[in-house]
Chains A and B, each alone.
Chain A
Amino acid sequence: MEDRRVTRALVEAAQRGDHDAFEALAIRVGDRLFAIARLILRDIPAAEDAVQDTLVHAWRDLPRLRDPERFDAWLHRLLVNACNDQVRLRRRWSGEIRVVHPELASDDVSSSMADRDQLERGFRRLKPEQRAVVVLHHYLGLTVPEVADTLGIPLGTAKSRLHYATETLRAALEADARGPVAATNGRPA
């Protein structure tokens, strides 16, 4: 509650042109935006550019945000749009860099390397708009209506994208269950 109050105060100050308030706000949300962008783009430099574009865009258009309570949703929409722009700019969706954290594959973590490999493969098969829905729902924990509202798409479209994406990832995991781990198609960073 306190966090929301502080965020609102910062948003309102930034809307009035207070750059220090905007910077404080950017620092509060920067890591979260970066995480979302990395998940959607699977490309760290592209994610950095997307976050930077998002924050600059946010600063420029903050005076037009009528309801400060909707700052997060508004910002997430800007970020998803920036990610889509990066996709169009870079056009290198498949088979690029694949970050592997070997330590996470040990027995004391519940997500196995096999899971990770197959999920990575399945996720890369998704379109950017499908990835965005998966990330907002499964990572940020938004409900499907909230996802639809954030992205500005009809509820049915959000449901459809989430269903397709989840089924794709589920199929990837089931493929993993049926056979040994295949060689990766990416290059470990």
Chain B
Amino acid sequence: MTRSRSAEDRIQQWLEEEAVGSLPDRVIDATFERSRGTRQAQWSDWRPFSMSRPFSAMIAVGAAAIVVAVGGALLVQARPDLRIGLPQATGAAEALPAGVLDATANLDLEIAETVRPHAKPPVPAPRRLESGSSSGTIEIAVAGRTVSGVLRLNLTHELEYSLTGPVVNHAWGLATGELNGAACDGSIAFSYFRGGPSGGTMFLRCADGTVFGGRVDSVDVTLSDSTWRMTARVNGSYKAGG
């Protein structure tokens, strides 16, 4: 009798009964028609918009793309010795305490069409990171309202960067990856305003205790000869954990 069975059993049986049915062939056919007309994503897809779209919109959305910088909110809270903030937030650059190298990396990132989806840079043998500066690149494709890309720091590792949500003048996302074999995760937040202040912060915390943060002092996005060219100046530093 039904009453003797647990609620979970009854829920499970109800779900199984409700789930009976097959995906109609017309849906399958329509799906394949759409997928055959859809190009698979490639990391080299750096021209996310039709060139016919208004330039300003393209700039605004495409710009939502760049960041590498030090000192996200978590880092500031958890590791004050690595505190780095946006100029707007701090008013003036803070000197890092002794033992932590002030990291200034000038990153001229040119998004080239030679980027390949899985073309990882050579990975040197694992070495223990201490503290110091770090430079890197971030390559981001913008498709509709979604940004995805790859972040490379010191060319020792890759971090996958994913972001969903409105990408107009500002956006945030999550970054996951490995640093010298240790899993890392963190966040990226940035904003871009054409002709105005642009920048962002980034923070990563790795399983071995290493933290990395960065500040984007400037973000510049230009479009010429059908190629997106993004240049970012990054001040970044990291500190080994444990």
Partner-B contacts on A (CB < 8 A): 17, 19, 22-23, 26-27, 30-31, 33-36, 38-39, 48, 51-52, 55-56, 59-64, 66, 99, 101, 104, 110-112, 114-116, 119, 134-135, 138-139, 166, 169-170, 173, 177
Contact = CB atoms under 8 A, between A and B. Distances in A.
- Residue from A33, A63, A111 having most chain B Cβ neighbours under 10 A: A111
Interface in B1-42: 2-3, 5, 7-8, 10-24, 27-28, 30-32, 34-36, 38-42
Nearest to A22: B35
A121 to B, nearest CB: 12
A115 B2 contact: yes
Contacts of B17: 101, 104, 111, 116
Contacts of A173: 7, 10
A173 to B, nearest CB: 5
A35 B21 contact: yes
26 contacts: A17-B40, A26-B28, A26-B32, A27-B28, A30-B27, A30-B28, A31-B22, A35-B20, A48-B23, A51-B23, A55-B31, A55-B35, A61-B41, A63-B118, A66-B160, A99-B18, A101-B17, A101-B20, A104-B17, A110-B2, A110-B13, A111-B2, A111-B13, A111-B17, A115-B14, A139-B12
Contact of A59 (B3, B12, B16, B38): B38
Given A31-B23, A139-B16, A64 B32 contact: no
A30 B31 CA distance: 10
Contacts of A48: 23-24, 27
B97 interface: no
A131 to B, nearest CB: 10
A119 B28 contact: no
Q: Is the interface of B mostly helix, strand, loop or mixed?
A: helix
Contacts of A17: 40
A119 B14 contact: yes
B148 A64 contact: yes
Given A38-B18, A39-B15, A166-B8, A177 B40 contact: no
B87 interface: no
Contacts of B8: 138, 166
A115 B21 CA distance: 20
Nearest to B6: A170
Contacts of B32: 23, 26
Nearest to A116: B14
Contacts of A36: 19
Contacts of B36: 19
B197 interface: no
B175 to A, nearest CB: 14
Given A19-B35, A56-B34, A99-B18, 9 more contacts: A27-B28, A30-B23, A30-B27, A34-B21, A56-B31, A61-B41, A110-B2, A110-B13, A138-B11
Contacts of A31: 21-23
B18 A39 contact: yes
Contact of B11 (A38, A59, A110, A169): A169
Contacts of A35: 19-21
